[in-house]
Amino acid sequence: MRFQDKTVIITGAAGGIGQTLVELFASEGACVMAADYQAQSLQDLGSKWQAKGYKVAIQVTDLAHKQDCEKLVLACVKVYGGIDILLNNAGIIPRGTILETTDEMWFSAMNVNLNAVFFLCRATIPYMQRAGAGAIVNTSSVWGTEPGPAHVAYCTSKGALACLTRNLAVDHAPDNIRINAVCPNEVNTPMIRTGFAKRGLDPNEGISQLNQSVPIGRIAEPQDIADVIAFLASDAARYMCGAVVPVTGAKPVYG
């Protein structure tokens, strides 16, 4: 029970990695505030989690809006009295070169993948300072630290998030607030499968081909990423601060 009575905000809670994170943290004793913009999915999941006896509250949140980010933090404090851990897990993947990237694609990527993390951290850190400790784990991407082709908005937003993580870590390590990031490559989630379908490709065939490109033999499952996030949030990672951790199965972005 690594997270017994710890209060945790998890964004993107209705997604593949997000659902896994909620299950993992709640099963280890955490009090979870689960946030997502998909209202019906989040409500259905919330009922399921609560039926299992987990301490999970839900908050429908559109991370593209500063006010929603700040309301999420206030809702967590109102329900649980504070915030011990913030998991900035939500993200979107606009695809295209700069010539294919519309203004809407660019600003959507920045709002959800970067600005929301800024607003959530800015609202959360004062509560952690008052408590004398805290942990924040951001989900960046290896495509942010080693940008791949034809994802200019996504790569830029995730690269900036990795830099933001390092900067916040330096500023707030003296507050005993550890801030780290994970950088996955491809993960077998509904998001990546939807991407295949939008391009007219069979999702199962697309996953199968991706598996062949990974030295470890397969792309990541949500649990593979969630376990690393949980480690970084736990006391076992007590001396890790400012780390940007690739979780890739040894697959480079190019290769």
How many C-beta atoms lie closer than 10 Å to residue 235's C-beta?
A: 10
Q: Sign (positive/negative) of CA torsion 223, 224, 230, 236?
A: positive
Are the C-beta atoms of 113 and 141 separated by less than 8 Å? no
Residue 154 is among the residues annotated as catalytic for this protein: yes
Number of C-alpha atoms within 13 angstroms, CB side, residue 222? 18
- Given the residues 54, 127, 154, 254, the one annotated as active site: 154
Q: Sign (positive/negative) of CA torsion 164, 231, 128, 15?
A: positive
Is residue 114 exposed (0-12), middle (13-18) or buried (19+ Cβ within 10 Å)?
buried
Active-site residue numbers? Answer: 154
